[in-house]
Amino acid sequence: MTHTQATGLFISFEGIDGAGKSSHIAALAQAFRDAGRTVTLTREPGGTPLAEKLRALLLHEAMDPLTEALVAFAARRDHLVQVIEPALARGEVVVSDRFTDATFAYQGAGRGFDWEKLQILERMAQTGCAPQADLMREPDLTIWFDLPAAVAAGRLAGARVPDRFEAQPQDFFAAVADGYARRCAAAPQRFARIDANCSREAVWQQVADVLVARGYLPGESGAAA
C-alpha cells in the first residue's frame, strides 16, 4: 500500500558502530522530499534539547547498565512526546538514526542487561504518546545495517576520538550484532536486513529497493548516497 501525504511514516536506522548507516540517512530523507513528502530527520539518543543533554551523559559518563537503560528510555520518551508523535500527526516521514532496538542491542546484548526488564521499560516509555492511548509506538520500518564486528572495527580504527561505546572491544560489538539479530527475528515484518559489507552504492540500492517494495517510495528512486 502506498502511503499518502496524510499518513505519517516512522523509519529507524540501526546497526553497530561502523556499519555505515549514517551515510545513507540523508540520502533517504532527500528521496522522500523528492517524492513530495515532508521529512523530520532525527536521532537517538537525542532529538530534543533535553534528550541531547541525556545523550551527552550516556556517551561520556560512566554508569551501570540499568542506569544506561533508564537514561536511554527517558531521552526516548521526551523524543516521542516532543518530536516524533507531533511529526507523525502532521503526516510527515520521521527518519531516526537509532531507536529502541539500539537499547536492546547495546544495553541488553552488549552489557548483558535483562531483556525482560528492557521490555517493561519499552512499554512504559513508548505507550500513551500516540493518539491511541494503548498504542506502544514502534517504527513502521527498521532498516538494519548488518555488518561483521571485525569489519566494523576496521572502519572505526583511526576515526575521531571514540565515545565510551565506540571504544568497546570487538567482542562487545559482536554481542551487539547478535542483539540486533534477536530483535529482527522477533519482529521480521518490521525489519529489513541490509548487507552492509559491500560497496556504498550497493548498500544504498538495497535500501532503495526496500522502500520501493513496501510502497513507501515510487520506483526508480533517483537519490544517490
Annotated binding site for ATP: 15-22
Tell me whether strands 93-97 and 9-14 are parallel, antiparallel or unpaired. parallel
3 state SS of 96: strand
Please report which helix (H) or strand (E) contains residue 13, including its range. strand 9-14
Tell me the H-state helices in 48-169. 49-60, 65-79, 85-89, 100-103, 115-126, 149-156
3 state SS of 98: coil
Residue 52, by phi and psi: left (phi above 0), alpha (psi -120 to 50) or beta?
alpha
Largest Cα–Cα separation, the chain: 47
**Could you tell me the three cell numbers for 37?**
513528502
Report d(CA 126, CA 88) in Å as an integer: 14
Q: List residues forming the annotated binding site.
A: 15-22
